[in-house]
Amino acid sequence: MSKAQKSIVGGMTVLSVVGIISKIIGALHRIPLAWLIGDQGMGTYQLVFPTYNMLLAISSAGLPVAISRMVSFSLAKDDPKNAKRIFRVALYLLSALGFIAMVLMIAMSPWLAKRSGDLATQPGFAAIAPALLLVCTMSAFRGFMQGQQNMVPTAMSQMIEQCAKVLIALPLAYFGMKVSIAYAAAGVLLGTSIAEALALLYMFLTYRRNKGEYAELPQAEGIPLYSTKSIMTRLMSLSIPITVGACIVPMSAFIDSGLLLNRLVDAGIERGTALGLYGRYSGYVLTLINVPSALAAAIAMSLVPSISRCIAQGDGVGMRKQSALGLRLSFVVGLPCTVAMCVLSTRLLSLMFHFSSPETLEGTGKMLSLSAITIVLFTVVQSTSGILQGLRKQRIPMYTLLVGVIVKVYLNYTLIAMPQINIYGASIASITCYTLSMVPNLYYVHKYTGLKRDIVNIFLRPALASALMGVMVFLLGKWLPSGRLWTILIVMLGIGGYVFFSLVTGAVQRSDIAPFLRKFHRKHSKSENGEQNP
């Protein structure tokens, strides 16, 4: 495997493993949370997040990618001084944007609560507002370290976020529930702000600890220091299209937070029942759907600086290899997750959450089976967006996603109000959205990288391995009794089966796992040497 490929696989592996663990922790913490605050409490809690995610995307989504790309480009030119200067300018800019976003959310919390259709959300908007400042500031540190191909701090800070949410948010929800559902939801959201503060502290300490090592990097002679104005101009030119593109989905979720609940009521569903239905869709279904999204984000994060570095070095062959690897990995990780969640939907939901009746579980399972299709679509959209951003074609994924989201909003408005479709319209709209974004993205990736269309290796082999795994877990689900332990066993066997099938079909190649085999061999050799020479 080439050095370029190792950079993607290594970075993606760190982010994927820790990201998946973080997502699982985040999903597991919803179990006691749902017991504490119930379906309606989950609905109130989930109504706050779309606004938070939208403001966060506006203030910080594009700049970390721009920082990563500019730092990676400078380091490829042996210019660490300007890379450090880029980070400092971006840190001040992101902190200012985060402060503005925090103040806006606090000031507008009464209006935001009224707009959401649930006045109980107002304390929650105020409680999570400090997280905007904290995450924006932390994004500068993450972008700087990702530009150095160091994904570990980002991954560990994500782990700290999730663990702190469990340890802090649940007790706050418990005490808040003694007052009202509104304060219980606000307690959970305040726990998010505290968790982000701890993650930022970790990133700052990591940055301080690595300063000496960074100072030892060789500096090429004759390269002038960039002015603050030129850095700002470059950061904005790179980040604005990415920010606009990154804001499209949160903006859609923001619209949905005020739209879905009201359209469910328009479909003839009583408001309390509609809030519980929205809570199960956004709090249960989307929580499980978002667990594999850590893999998609890991692929995209690793692709941007790696491709940018290849461009800086004039390495067209390396750029194409990394692009092909990113595409293949997006199907390798996206397809099995989609298949597994479609087949095991009710088992996974009953494993993770408590349901008041079998009918409620069955209905939520149907939602998950349909929504699971978006996993592979979203994974491919993320990887193709990362490739295009690395190629400095960041406007393309912005436009394709915008078209998809416009159609999504229209379908949500139209389908959810139909009594025979209701909440399932949200899943149909999301599938349509990501399909409309994925297809042109794939076209432009092949156009601008010069990749040959290798459907067999990129798609068909992962699809065959996923189908074989799907048949296996389907049969296991039929043969084995219900219960949490049996479900965990089926999931573990499914993972092992997919690894086996992907190796047999060639979906995963030996070159993909060679670095890990070498690392294991080195550790084993050191262990043996240590035993022989104590």
| pLDDT higher than 70, residue 123 | yes
**Using 50, 70 and 90 to split pLDDT, how confident is the model at 294?**
low
- The token pair that represents 19 in the structure block: 């990201």
Reported as a pLDDT band with limits 50, 70 and 90, residue 11 is very low
Mean pLDDT over all residues of the chain? 82
Neighbours of 477 (CB within 10 A): 17
Q: CA–CA separation, 444 vs 448, rounded Å?
A: 6
Residue bearing tokens 């990394």: 322
Cα 96 from chain centre: 24
Indicate the SS3 state at residue 118. Answer: coil
Model confidence at 337, in pLDDT bands (50, 70, 90)?
Answer: very high
CA distance 10 to 506: 20
Residue given tokens 């990702």 in the structure block: 146
Contacts 24+ apart (CB under 8 A), 232-236: 232/89, 232/93, 234/66, 234/70, 235/63, 235/66, 235/67, 235/70, 235/86, 235/89, 235/90, 235/93
Least confident of 56-70, 111-125, 197-211: 56-70
Q: What's the average model confidence in pLDDT over 493-500?
A: 94
pLDDT of residue 19: 60
Structure tokens at 79: 């210019």
Residue 380's pLDDT is 92
Give the HSE-up count for residue 59: Cα atoms under 13 Å, Cβ half-sphere. Answer: 31
Give the separation between CA 274 and CA 120, rounded to whole angstroms.
Answer: 16
Using a 10 angstrom Cβ sphere, with 0-12 exposed, 13-18 middle and 19 or more buried, the burial of residue 217 is middle
| Alpha carbons 312 and 296: distance in angstroms, whole number | 25
The pTM of this model reads: 0.68
166's CB contacts (< 8 A; 6+ apart) are 25, 28, 29
pLDDT of residue 490: 95
Residue predicted with more confidence, 97 or 15: 97
| pLDDT (tens digit per residue) in 272-284 | 888 888 888 887 8
* CA 411 – CA 431 distance, rounded (Å): 11
Is residue 43 predicted with pLDDT exceeding 60? yes
**Residue 492 pLDDT > 90, yes or no?**
yes
pLDDT of residue 3: 46
| pLDDT (mean) for 426-431 | 94
Task: State how far the Cα of 255 lies from the Cα of 251, in Å rounded to an integer.
Answer: 6
Query: Residue 296 has what pLDDT?
Result: 67
Q: Cα–Cα distance between 11 and 3 in angstroms, integer?
A: 12
Residue 523 CB neighbours (<10 A) = 10
* d(C-alpha 515, C-alpha 348), whole Å: 33
- C-alpha distances (whole Å) from 66 to each of 79, 122, 389, 426 are 17, 34, 9, 32
Residue that has been written with the tokens 């550790």 in this structure = 523
Please, are residues 440 and 401 in contact by the beta-carbon 8 Å criterion?
no
Is the pLDDT at 299 greater than 80, yes or no? no
End-to-end CA distance of the chain: 34
Q: Specify the DSSP class assigned to residue 306.
A: H
- Are 198 and 164 in contact, with CB atoms under 8 Å apart? yes
Residue type, 24: I
For the chain, the domains span 3-213+226-453, 455-513
Angle at 439 between CA 333 and CA 398, to 5 degrees: 95
- pLDDT-derived band at 433 (thresholds 50, 70, 90) equals very high
DSSP state of 200: H
Residue 513 has pLDDT above 60, yes or no: no
**Residues 165, 294: Cα–Cα separation, whole Å:** 17
Q: How far is CA 119 from the centre of its chain?
A: 29
Under 8 Å between Cβ of 160 and 191? no
**CA 12 – CA 201 distance, rounded (Å):** 24
Tell me what pLDDT residue 430 has. 92
517/262: higher pLDDT:
262
Q: Is residue 330 scored above 90 in pLDDT?
A: no
Residues 6+ apart with CB under 8 A from 287: 26, 27, 30, 352
pLDDT at residue 306 greater than cutoff 90: no
Question: Is the model more confident about 352 or about 30?
Answer: 352
Residue 8's pLDDT band (boundaries 50, 70, 90)?
very low
